[in-house]
């Protein structure tokens, strides 16, 4: 059973990966996608998208500081270009390659990428198999897809194409591209795929609580899950799910994070970003504000401060306001 941190552009970046894996429960992270056209990227591009390839101190390459492996995700439609970039990423130290066949963004789909490829299972097969051949056997190649583009008619064909191409597992977001992110997630549509394939199927979509995990598991027949937005709303969601399914004794059980603990992690998040001299100051305050906004459904304190917080442009002032919210409670 694996719990994987989903790649979400502008959300689960290297800083969020550090924080969420420090909290615990995750077995694997996947980077935000690197968009491949017909170019073999220079090393600096990989390092910018995937900072864990240049580890600090005793950190293992392609791992967070907590020791959780990080796979590079590639998005593109040219098998040769995808293979060449995958091979270079593996040579730079990436411990795994994930392929994106699920992004629903219009700009991506108009350029023959992401979920648009779900209309062509044979093309998915050629991309996966080209990447599989290009990287060492020791490097896992995995893929993420949706149930389909406009409907679910090709779900099984696409999943089989990924398996036949040589992927170690497939993650399926339980909605079509047309569904976007609108609830519900059709977990039950994953069950026949999970029963048919010889590789593991990881379920993704609408898992916001341990109860959701159990319901997803029951309907999808998938033990493993990928968490995205749910982990931003409830940062210890992976840990709580793990505790819920493992034989944890009462004295080992960790209670859900309180607001004070969440703020301490947000301060670490701020410190990590501030320590990067290459990161522009204007990036930091919006990232803090965005995470606080995501926390609002779980923590009333986040909702209490957000009206003031969203008006602040200076990152230090934003962090001070977040810290002050602890003193009021």
* Residues taking part in catalysis: 103
Q: Torsions phi, psi of 73, nearest 5?
A: -100, 130
86 phi, psi to nearest 5 deg: -65, -45
- Which of 165, 211, 169, 159 is CA-nearest to residue 189? 159
What span, in angstroms and rounded, lies between the C-alpha atoms of 225 and 208? 12
Distance separating alpha carbons of residues 281 and 179, to the nearest angstrom: 36
Task: Please state the separation of Cα 324 from the chain's center in Å.
Answer: 30
Q: Would you tell me the crossing angle of helices 259-275 and 281-295 to the nearest 10 degrees? A: 160
d(CA 10, CA 195) in angstroms, rounded, equals 34
- Tell me the DSSP string of 124-143: HHHHHHHHHHHS-TTS-EEE
**Residue with token string 């897809």:** 145
No. of H helices and E strands in the chain? 14, 9
């Amino acid at each position: 059973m694996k719990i994987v941190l989903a790649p979400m552009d502008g959300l689960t970046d290297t800083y969020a990966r550090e924080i969420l894996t420090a909290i615990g429960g995750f077995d694997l992270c996947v980077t935000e996608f690197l968009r491949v056209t017909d170019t073999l990227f220079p090393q600096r591009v990989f390092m910018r998208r995937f900072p864990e390839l240049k580890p600090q101190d005793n950190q293992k390459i392609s791992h967070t500081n907590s020791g959780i492996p990080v796979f590079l995700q590639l998005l593109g439609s040219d098998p040769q270009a995808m293979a060449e970039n995958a091979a270079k990423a593996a040579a730079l130290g990436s411990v795994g390659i994930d392929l994106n066949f699920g992004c629903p963004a219009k700009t991506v789909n108009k350029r023959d990428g992401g979920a648009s490829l779900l209309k062509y299972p044979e093309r998915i097969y050629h991309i996966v198999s080209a990447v599989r051949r290009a990287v060492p056997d020791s490097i896992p190649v995995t893929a993420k897809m949706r149930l389909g583009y406009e409907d679910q008619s090709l779900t099984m064909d696409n999943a089989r194409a990924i398996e036949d191409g040589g992927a170690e597992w497939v993650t399926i977001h339980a909605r079509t591209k047309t569904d976007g992110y609108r609830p519900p997630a059709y977990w039950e549509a994953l069950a026949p795929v999970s029963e048919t394939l010889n590789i593991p199927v990881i379920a993704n979509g609408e898992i916001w609580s341990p109860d959701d995990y159990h319901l997803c598991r029951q309907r999808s027949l998938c033990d493993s899950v990928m968490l995205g937005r749910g982990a931003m709303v409830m940062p210890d969601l992976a840990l709580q799910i793990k505790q819920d399914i493992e034989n944890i004794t009462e004295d080992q059980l960790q209670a859900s994070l309180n607001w004070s603990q969440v703020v301490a992690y947000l301060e670490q998040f701020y410190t990590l970003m501030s320590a990067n001299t290459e990161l522009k100051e204007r990036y930091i305050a919006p990232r803090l504000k965005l995470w606080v906004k995501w926390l609002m459904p779980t923590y009333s304190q986040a909702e209490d401060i957000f009206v003031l917080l969203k008006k602040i442009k200076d990152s230090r002032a934003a962090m001070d306001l977040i810290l002050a919210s602890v003193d009021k409670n």
